[in-house]
Structure 1
Amino acid sequence: MRYLLTLHMNPTLWATLTDDQKNGVYEGHGDFIKLVTESGEMVETKALAEPDDSKTVQVRNGAPQISNGGYVEAESFFCGYYVVDVDSEERALELAAKIPDAQYTAVEVRKVVHEG
């Protein structure tokens, strides 16, 4: 079963972390990638730019409207993900708890139901 483990960033919270805590998050991702790669559970991972660096496209009256920034104004934003291929939901939850971001924000675990 494949699961999407989504990461969310809260810039206000991030700004309160010490350099050691931030470095722990970065190093923790390296450790996590090594873990799921060696176990054969890694499918893919991506880190995403902040919403300020994105564009949002909406089609209204047949014409695309493009605006700067993310779609949703929120305290936290979607900043990356892992896709893992595991034997059970329990394993996906176990892996999500090993992602360093879970110490400060949350990691959402969602089953992949269709792949194109």
Structure 2
Amino acid sequence: MRYSLVFHAPEPQEGGPHPSAEVMAEMQKLMSDYADALYSAGVFIAAEMLEPQQATTTVTRRGGSVVIEDGPFAATKEALAGVFVIDVVSRDAALAWAEKFPGTSYGVVEVRAAAVSYIDGHWVQP
């Protein structure tokens, strides 16, 4: 069954403190090691780490017109930072992988089962 490990983390504030280059390099190494472990275990589907929410563009359709706006939908302290999609046998297995996610030292991982997935050209329900 596919699960998304949805990572939320605090956004660096403009003019506020940012992680040092050393801290960023260490986290990148930890994330690479984590992705490698998922891949080696045969459960890795995809992973995306996202740009800061200031780089977001929001697209909506209101009153029949498409509206494109700069910026996130909602201002929050924690923002969507990335998503890992895995295919494991159970919720417990997904939780076990989430417990190993390096970003939990400063953010939150939301574990959500896929309700339906688009695989090989068609929609599939688990």
User: Structure 1-normalised TM-score?
Assistant: 0.88
> Whose helix proportion is higher, 1 or 2?
1
State the number of aligned residues. Answer: 116
- More displaced 10-residue stretch of structure 1: 92-101 or 5-14: 5-14
Query: 1: CA distance between counterparts of 2:61 and 2:88?
Result: 38
Whether 2:98 is the aligned partner of 1:96: answer yes
Partner of 2:67: 65
Task: Please report how far the alpha carbon of residue 22 of structure 1 lies from its aligned counterpart in structure 2 after TM superposition.
Answer: 3.2
Output the amino acid matched with 1:59.
R
RMSD: 2.0
Deviations 1:7-46 (A, max 9, x none): 1121249946555443332111111111010110101111
Gaps of 5+ in 1: none
Which residue, out of 37, 40, 43, partners 2:42?
40
Gaps of 5+ in 2: 119-126
Output the amino acid matched with 1:95.
W
Output the amino acid matched with 1:83.
V
> Whose strand proportion is higher, 1 or 2?
2
Q: Give the 3-state SS of the residue equivalent to 2:97 in structure 1.
A: helix
Query: 2: CA distance between counterparts of 1:42 and 1:11?
Result: 26
User: Structure 2-normalised TM-score?
Assistant: 0.82
Q: Sequence identity of aligned pairs in percent?
A: 25
